[in-house]
Amino acid sequence: MISSLKLARLCGVSQGTVDRALHGRPEIGAATRKRILDAARRYGYRPNPQVRELLSGKSRLVGGIVPAVNSIFFVDLFNEIKNELGKHGYRLFLTPVSDEAEFLECLEEFAARRFAAVIVVPPRDNIPIPESFSRETAVVSLLSPCHGNKTHFIRCDEVKTGRHAVDFLFAQGHRRILHLTYSRRAHGILAREKGYRMRMSELGLKSAVLTDPGVALLLTNVRRKKFTAIFAHNDWLAIAAIRTLEQNGLRVPTDISVLGVDASPTLMALYPNLTTLKYPFAQIAGNSVRVLLGKRAHKIAPTFKLKRGGTVCHL
Amino acid sequence: MISSLKLARLCGVSQGTVDRALHGRPEIGAATRKRILDAARRYGYRPNPQVRELLSGKSRLVGGIVPAVNSIFFVDLFNEIKNELGKHGYRLFLTPVSDEAEFLECLEEFAARRFAAVIVVPPRDNIPIPESFSRETAVVSLLSPCHGNKTHFIRCDEVKTGRHAVDFLFAQGHRRILHLTYSRRAHGILAREKGYRMRMSELGLKSAVLTDPGVALLLTNVRRKKFTAIFAHNDWLAIAAIRTLEQNGLRVPTDISVLGVDASPTLMALYPNLTTLKYPFAQIAGNSVRVLLGKRAHKIAPTFKLKRGGTVCHL
DNA sequence: TTGTAGGCGTTATCAC
DNA sequence: GTGATAACGCCTACAA
């Protein structure tokens, strides 16, 4: 990529003249302008945004960090965020990270590069963000909160999601409902579980939670305790569960119902008839961007909308 | 993030002295060094890599571009690439793009930022890369070649993959084999199909190809033409097919066998017992990085290794 | 209508 | 031991 100075030399003019031609300013002769613009096109000139950013002290870059594993949902979410950022002239650079050390290293790199903001899915809850960092760079965290001054946690009411899931299954006639979730301690995971437990208890039902290392235990659990429905933390777990059940002679939803959460595009394309609660991708993306622009977050509908599919039956 | 000049002012020294302290050079007093290092730590100082890159004319950034849709495989692949790049001190910034226009826009941005290289999965075959671009920035393309001077297409022999799949199913006793693939015209897709057709023909068998818009047609096809096996272009299609079949009373592999390709970690975690041909993630990642370092690509094993699962039966 | 100067943050090289 | 200076590419402001 050619620089504006080199372009000026090639055209036998000064850098200032090149600047006038490129930015369509009036104080320049028509012939000179044409000559410069032609050369610029021929050499594929494009100003280096890094320098602009250095000069103005303002960057239009937003760094994104997602866990490297099981990233379907995150990538779908960040694609939405990328589109939203684009509307405001920001650009997203995404990085998958494998652990907390890499996560922090990445944050530092983004800060050192003076990125306008970072939007992250932390590997666990309450990772401390150094004061020196969050003082200058807006940190938006999704799914897990971060511990630090100016970090914004964008979320929807996951407790209500859990309650909502129970209510829906209850309305279909289910009483023995198993919650399938992850053992990772993250806000979104824990809050949904909490909502499930609260609502089950209020309805006079007994809670039962199985975490991912125990998916192998799923069958014995289902058979022995005669669950009629499974509320899975997300679509991925729901599909994994359906697979396990069907492989072992249990039919979904004839023998047992399965409810997922997210309606993540990639997985929905795979399993179009999954019954699931729609995660508000657009609102989360919208609020993430609003917050990093310094605006207040919009209120997000308190509970997820239902996508009716064929994996939950009315008892 | 504080700058070295501000750090110098705070410590009452010059920028040069700060530099000496930070880089552990000897020509500095022990007390001064300690004072500066303490301040640097307190303020979380970290040199701005953008400036370093500007100054040296060399960047350690590699841009990655992946299609925004159906990105499971791409993200798994780029995670491997990110790890490989990390070994050589490079950093990956990934961007999902929705169409060709966005793809080209992204390339230009990477070039304007003087990225060391870009590694892309183009939205279609032979997208022309402007001469002015590839002259300075190494372009590595995966799955689909690009049209341009210095663009390197890293791939494995996908024709052999197709042949290999047929051979494997043939050895299990299958004769009526359907190929399920995408309608998108991309090298990897077309080459696998070609290998399938060639080998089927050599074995005296009749080819049958169904592209994704016709997944709904899958059932009628399978039932009417009595296929005993499906060779899916990738794991995603394989799982989608298994789902469709099982939803409609056909058992896999009792009634029909399904073979996928990729063994992409995210999908394998979902469907551990899928029979699939392992895509050489590590070698593709390794070669991508070798090429952008100016080295020659290693030879990649001519055909994918098989992961034996429970979705293909011996007839 | 065009050329020149200064500054963003860092580093290497010069002089004191 | 430490400070000053130049350079990278771009842009704004001022001088010619």
pLDDT digits (tens, 9 = 90+) for B230-288: 999 999 999 999 989 988 889 999 999 999 999 999 999 889 999 999 999 999 999 99
Residue A110 is classified by DSSP as: H
Average of per-residue pLDDT across A14-39 = 91
Contact criterion met (CB below 8 Å) for B86 and B142: no
Q: Give the amino acid at A254.
A: T
Contacts of A76-81 with C-beta under 8 Å, sequence gap 24+, read A76/A264, A76/A265, A76/A266, A76/A281, A77/A142, A77/A279, A77/A281, A77/A284, A77/A285, A78/A119, A78/B96, A79/B68, A79/B71, A79/B96, A80/A281, A80/A282, A80/A284, A80/A285, A81/A119, A81/A285, A81/A288, A81/A289
pLDDT at B191 over 90: yes
Q: What is the pLDDT of residue A135?
A: 81
Give Cα B246 to chain centroid, integer Å: 30
Tell me which residue has tokens 């609502």: A199
The strand pairing partners of A278, in sequence order, are: A262, A305
B169 pLDDT band, cuts 50/70/90, is very high
| Alpha helices (H) along chain B | 4-11, 15-22, 30-42, 49-56, 72-87, 100-112, 131-134, 158-171, 187-202, 218-225, 235-247, 265-270, 281-292
pLDDT at A64 over 90: yes
pLDDT tens per residue, range A159-183: 999 999 999 999 999 999 999 999 8
pLDDT at B215 over 80: no
Residues 31-60 of A with CB under 7 A from strand C: 32-33, 51, 54-55, 57
B50 and A91 within 8 Å at the Cβ level: the answer is: no
Does this model's pTM top 0.85? My answer is yes
What value does the mean pLDDT of chain B take?
A: 93
Nucleotide nearest to B48 (CA to C1'): C9
Q: What is the pLDDT of residue A130?
A: 87
Helix B49-56 × helix A49-56 angle, to 10°: 130
* Closest by CA position to B239, among listed A71, A309, A269: A269
pLDDT at B24 over 80: yes
Average of per-residue pLDDT across B130-139 = 85
Q: What is the pLDDT of residue A136?
A: 83
pLDDT at B107 over 70: yes
Q: What is the pLDDT of residue A302?
A: 72
Residue in chain A closest to B254 (alpha carbons) equals A247
The sheet carrying A138-142 orders its strands as: A151-154, A138-142, A117-120, A61-67, A91-97, B91-97, B61-67, B117-120, B138-142, B151-154
Nucleotide nearest to B15 (CA to C1'): D3
Tell me which residue has tokens 């993959």: B161
Residue B297 to residue B295: CA distance in whole angstroms: 6
HSE-CB for B140 with a 13 A CA cutoff:
26
| Sequence-distant (≥ 6) Cβ neighbours of residue B27 within 8 angstroms | B20
Q: What is the pLDDT of residue A69?
A: 85
Contact criterion met (CB below 8 Å) for A283 and A304: no
A82 and B95 within 8 Å at the Cβ level: the answer is: yes
Q: Which of B70, B113, B133 to mutate to test the interface with A (most CBs of A within 10 A)?
A: B113
Reduce the DSSP state of residue A106 to 3 states and report it.
Answer: helix
A239 and B270 within 8 Å at the Cβ level: the answer is: yes
| Sequence-distant (≥ 6) Cβ neighbours of residue A280 within 8 angstroms | A156, A300, A301, A304, A305
Average of per-residue pLDDT across A190-199 = 98
Give me the CA A4–C1' D8 separation in Å, rounded.
Answer: 12
**Phi/psi at B213 (5° precision):** -60, -20
Give me the CA B118–C1' C10 separation in Å, rounded.
Answer: 25
Nucleotides of C under 7 A from a protein CB: 1-13
Q: Are strands A276-278 and A305-307 parallel, antiparallel or unpaired?
A: antiparallel
- Per the structure block, which two tokens stand in for A22? 């490129």
| Sequence-distant (≥ 6) Cβ neighbours of residue A259 within 8 angstroms | A165, A168, A169, A229, A230, A231, A232, A238, A275, A276, A277, A311, A312
Question: C-alpha angle with apex B121: B118 to B127, nearest 5 degrees?
Answer: 90
Reduce the DSSP state of residue A112 to 3 states and report it.
Answer: helix
pLDDT tens per residue, range A133-157: 878 889 999 999 999 888 999 999 9
Q: What is the pLDDT of residue B228?
A: 96
Average of per-residue pLDDT across B171-198 = 96
Please confirm whether the linkage preceding A128 is cis (ω < 30° from 0): no
pLDDT at B214 over 70: no
Q: What is the pLDDT of residue B135?
A: 81
- Strand C at less than 7 A from CB of B9: no
Q: What is the pLDDT of residue B27?
A: 82
* Closest by CA position to A291, among listed A65, A62, A49: A62
- Give chain B positions within 8 Å (CB) of A68: 79, 82
B192 pLDDT band, cuts 50/70/90, is very high
Nucleotides of D under 7 A from a protein CB: 1-14
